[in-house]
Amino acid sequence: MEKNVVILDIDYVTYENKPVIRLFSKDKDKNIVLLDDSFEPYLYVAPKDNVKKCQEQILDTLEGVHIEEVIKKDFQVEKTFLKVTFLNPQELAKNRDALRDLDQVDHIREHDIPFYRRYLIDRDVIPMTEVKACGEKIDSFLNLDSKKHDLEIIKLTKPLERVGDDLQDFRILSFDLEVRNPHGMPNSEVDEIIMIGVASNFGINQVISTKTNSEDRDDFVNQVASEKEMIETFIDIVKKSNVDIIVGYNSDNFDFPYLKDRAKSHGIDLDLGMDDSNIKFIRRGFANAASFKGLIHVDLYLVMRRYMTLERYTLERVYYELFGEEKVDVPGEHIWEYWDSDSTQLDDLFDYSLDDVVSTLKIAQQTLPLNLELTRIVGQPLFDLSRMATGQQAEWFLVKEAYFDNEVVPNKPGGSNFTIRAAEEDNEGGYVKEPEIGLHENLVQFDFRSLYPSIIISKNISPDMLVVGDVENREDYNISPEHDLKFKKNPKGFIPSVISKILNERFKIKKAMKASVDPTEKKTLDVQQQAIKRLANTMYGIYGFPRFRWYSYECAKAITSWGRQYIKRAMKKAEDYGFYAIYADTDGFYAKYKK
Partner DNA sequence: AGGTTCCGGGG
Partner DNA sequence: GTGTACGGAACCT
Binding residues vs DNA (CB under 7 A): 12, 41-43, 89-90, 92-93, 96, 110-118, 176-179, 181, 184-186, 249-250, 253-254, 282-286, 301, 312-316, 332-333, 335, 356, 389, 545, 547
Asked, as a colleague might, if the bond just before 463 is cis with ω within 30 of 0, I would say: no
**DSSP conformation letters of 82-115:** EEEE-SSHHHHHHHHHHHHH-TTEEEEES-SS-H
C-alpha separations of 402 from 111, 343, 461, 495, 536 in Å: 15, 63, 17, 9, 16
Q: CB of 498: closest distance to DNA in angstroms? A: 22
Which phi and psi (to 5°) does residue 569 adopt?
A: -60, -45
Q: CB of 11: closest distance to DNA in angstroms? A: 8
Q: CB of 285: closest distance to DNA in angstroms? A: 3
Q: What is the b/e burial string over 423-459, where b = at least 16 CB atoms within 10 angstroms of the residue's CB?
A: eeeebeebbeeeeeeeeeeeeeebeeebbbbbbbbeb
Which residue, 94 or 573, has its beta carbon nearer to DNA?
94
Which residue, 273 or 496, has its beta carbon nearer to DNA?
273
Q: CB of 274: closest distance to DNA in angstroms? A: 18
Which residue, 148 or 284, has its beta carbon nearer to DNA?
284
Give the whole-angstrom CA distance, residue 405 versus residue 464: 14
Nearest to 539 by CA among 378, 364, 393, 367: 393
Q: CB of 311: closest distance to DNA in angstroms? A: 8
Q: CB of 398: closest distance to DNA in angstroms? A: 17
Q: CB of 417: closest distance to DNA in angstroms? A: 11
Q: CB of 104: closest distance to DNA in angstroms? A: 20
Which residue, 191 or 373, has its beta carbon nearer to DNA?
191
Which residue, 66 or 284, has its beta carbon nearer to DNA?
284
Check residue 541 and report its DSSP letter: H
* Cα 272 from chain centre: 22
Residue pair 206/220 in contact by the 8 Å Cβ criterion: yes
Which residue, 429 or 491, has its beta carbon nearer to DNA?
429
* Identity of the residue numbered 200: S
Which residue, 198 or 581, has its beta carbon nearer to DNA?
198
Nearest to 174 by CA among 404, 306, 354: 354
Burial class (CB in 10 A: 0-12, 13-18, 19+), 324: exposed
Which residue, 274 or 581, has its beta carbon nearer to DNA?
274
Paired with 156 in beta bridges are: 135
Separation of first and last alpha carbons in the chain? 76
